[in-house]
Amino acid sequence: MTPIDEIKSRIDAVELISETVKLRRAGKNYTGFCPFHPNSRTPAFVVFPDSGTWRCFGQCNEGGDIFKFVMKKEGWDFPQTLQYLAQRAGVVLEPPSTEKQAEEEEHARLRALLEEAVLFYHHHLLQTPAGKPALEFLRRRGLQPATIETFNLGYAPDSWDAALNFLQGKGYTLEEMLQTGVVTQRESGSGTYDRFRHRVIFPIRDGAGHMAGFGARILNPEDVPKFLNSPQTPLFDKGRLLYGLDQARKPIRTQDQVVIVEGYLDVILLHQAGFTNTVSPMGTALTEDQVRMLKRFTRKIILALDADAAGEKATLRGLDVARQAMDHSDELAFDARGLLRHEARLQADLRVTTLPPGMDPDEVVLRDPEEWKAIIAAAQPVVIHVMDTLARGRNLDDPKVKSEVAAEVLPLIEDVPNPVEREAYRQRLARTLRVDERALSGGLRQPPRPTRRGATREKSTAAPRAPSPVTLAHRTFELESRILSFLLRQPDALHQLDRTLLENQLSRLGAQDFEHTDHQLLARKVIDSLEQDELDAHQYILYDLPETLEVLAQKLLTPMPLGEPNSDQLIENLTNDVLHLREARISESIAQLYFLQEELQEQGEMGRGPYHEMVIQYTQTLVRLNRALSGPSFKVE
């Protein structure tokens, strides 16, 4: 996590901005009068707590994150703002120490060692007689040659020093081999030997595709343990890794859903069948760190663990961990006495599959991929699954059992954001336990609160349905990052991008297209680099960058997991991402303007209102964007 990310995670945007702007809650967001231009009639300034950003839909039409707000309010530059917010957040800004740089260099060498080990094991699987039993095992399990290549599967020879000798020949020291866990120390302390012997090898990478360690499965049924992983090392922390995430990241984002299975082969065979949004915690209980990693890509999690008793327990543990790790929104509600209280609602969609008895996911998908698709589609919401699981085989006539089940299920129900769903779940639980629903809710709930005008509020049917703020914020952040990643690789691609945008009657790319201040500053650097001729564009961009932006630039320039695009592919992807970013932002703006219009009507101001012209302008731009996205004009010829 960069210092900028850490500062944003510690400072609440609503709290910071409310020190300057009087904010009022409006749905999930907050509205007020923009402090950057005179206006005392229509509150067109909106703060989005889920993304930590703000936007003015009025005269200035500006927006950004907390850095942009402070810079604009105080007239400071980025370094001054960074220092101020870091001090406020309690984040210490330090340049990388000599020790830190040395550690990073050491880790890079250890990863290179692991990459050599991958090649060693892969060669022994495909090119040696000793590896044929392992290759036959994988083929019997249904793996195709292309899949074996994709996942770089391997075979560890039945030898005490084959890997050790190979890596020594590549110039690596015994200490480095011990640090990566490829070899291990004898219990007597005298001598070392290969950790993995006569096993199928599964290389394990982190989410960015960097080698971290290995998993290994026995071929001889008498060997123990059945699965053996790398030990805890500077690179390998099992609780912070998910097998397959390096290849599943993009599909998870695209499908906005992740499926969690138990084993290596489950992941591999599901990917082979096209279900590439699948990962595994590698046989251990799901951890909060793993769920936090996943929630950067999606809030929709499906658990597909074994159907046996142990699998059910693992599922329940996994669900509990997921609930703890996911964000909760703060919501106002009325208690039994009609008093306001705050309630936490889980910002996630957790579901659980039901697998055929005695079958694992890899067996299901080999038998029939359509069956697996149907199983995922039929995944139950967490509340129903836990309710049915806890009630199965229990004596529900026993009041104590009723109480125990209710105690487990009711917290899950209270996590559900939608009040209609909460009501339906309470009713179902009451029917399951055969109790009066009032016993589960602590008495009769209050009727819905009337609006100020005494009528039930009706949403405008003309307003487009906006995606959830969490999903939208994540998607736009990833699009911004991808666009900058492309521009840093090929700055002059901006010329082709701008030509395409102008051909579609759209404005050139500018720093205002980016919501996050660090992204805005990097975008400004790219644009400026093409308007000067003293330095090479790449040199100009990286010249005199603040330390935090230099770290971000290097992160954006790391090799892409699916390989580097050629020039034409890069321009096409860049243009597509810019169009999608603008489409998402404008759709969100239109939805917010409709909401603000409804707020005014609720206060008694009828008619079209001040937001009507803005909606028309945004809608016209959205039409041009959709035309560009659906037509061939943005394709590279």
Say if CB 295 and CB 348 are below 8 A apart: yes
Task: Report pLDDT digits (tens) over 35-70.
Answer: 887 776 778 888 988 788 898 887 777 888 999 899
What single letter denotes the amino acid at residue 148?
I
Percent of the chain with pLDDT over 90: 35
Beta-strand runs (E) in 39-153: 45-48, 53-56, 63-65
Contacts of 537 (CB under 8 A, 6+ apart): 491, 492, 526, 529, 530
| Domain shared by 121 and 180, yes or no | yes
At residue 449, the pLDDT reads: 39
| Domain shared by 85 and 103, yes or no | no
At residue 296, the pLDDT reads: 63
Three-state secondary structure call for residue 24: strand
Cα 373 to Cα 278: distance, rounded to the nearest angstrom: 12
Say if CB 233 and CB 213 are below 8 A apart: yes
| Domain shared by 483 and 610, yes or no | yes
Domain end position, chosen among 421, 441, 461: 441
| Domain shared by 260 and 231, yes or no | no
Contacts of 81 (CB under 8 A, 6+ apart): 67, 70, 71, 74, 517
Residue 337 scores a pLDDT above 50: no
Task: Report pLDDT digits (tens) over 552-581.
Answer: 888 888 888 777 888 888 999 999 999 999
| Domain shared by 518 and 621, yes or no | yes
Say if CB 231 and CB 215 are below 8 A apart: no
At residue 306, the pLDDT reads: 63
Cα 520 to Cα 500: distance, rounded to the nearest angstrom: 21
CA distances from 444 to 41, 319, 334, 438, 439 (A): 41, 30, 12, 6, 9
| Domain shared by 421 and 565, yes or no | no
Domain end position, chosen among 441, 459, 487: 441
Cα 202 to Cα 265: distance, rounded to the nearest angstrom: 9
| Domain shared by 282 and 345, yes or no | yes
Say if CB 43 and CB 17 are below 8 A apart: no
Q: Report if residue 169 sits inside a domain.
A: yes
CA distances from 52 to 7, 418, 474 (A): 11, 22, 11
Q: Report if residue 479 sits inside a domain.
A: yes
Residue 363 scores a pLDDT above 90: yes
Residue with tokens 């090119």: 127
CATH of the domain at 196: 3.90.980.10
Q: Report if residue 447 sits inside a domain.
A: no
Domains identified in the chain, total number: 4
| Domain shared by 167 and 298, yes or no | no
| Domain shared by 551 and 513, yes or no | yes
User: Whole domain around residue 34: which residue ranges?
Assistant: 3-89
CATH of the domain at 516: 1.10.860
Say if CB 616 and CB 570 are below 8 A apart: no
| Domain shared by 350 and 231, yes or no | no
Q: Report if residue 452 sits inside a domain.
A: no
- Give phi and psi for 231, each to the nearest 5: -75, 175
Global pTM value? 0.56
Beta-strand runs (E) in 230-335: 258-260, 278-279, 300-303, 328-334
| Domain shared by 214 and 103, yes or no | yes
Average pLDDT, the chain: 82
Residue of 346, 343, 268 whose CA lies nearest to 301? 346
Task: Report pLDDT digits (tens) over 607-616.
Answer: 455 677 778 8
CA distances from 94 to 71, 302, 546 (A): 21, 40, 12
Task: Report pLDDT digits (tens) over 104-139.
Answer: 788 999 999 999 999 999 999 999 999 999 999 999
Q: Report if residue 423 sits inside a domain.
A: yes
Q: Report if residue 580 sits inside a domain.
A: yes
Q: Report if residue 456 sits inside a domain.
A: no
CATH of the domain at 27: 3.90.580.10
At residue 128, the pLDDT reads: 97
| Domain shared by 66 and 163, yes or no | no
Domain end position, chosen among 89, 120, 153: 89
Contacts of 26 (CB under 8 A, 6+ apart): 46, 595, 596, 599
Q: Report if residue 460 sits inside a domain.
A: no
At residue 312, the pLDDT reads: 58
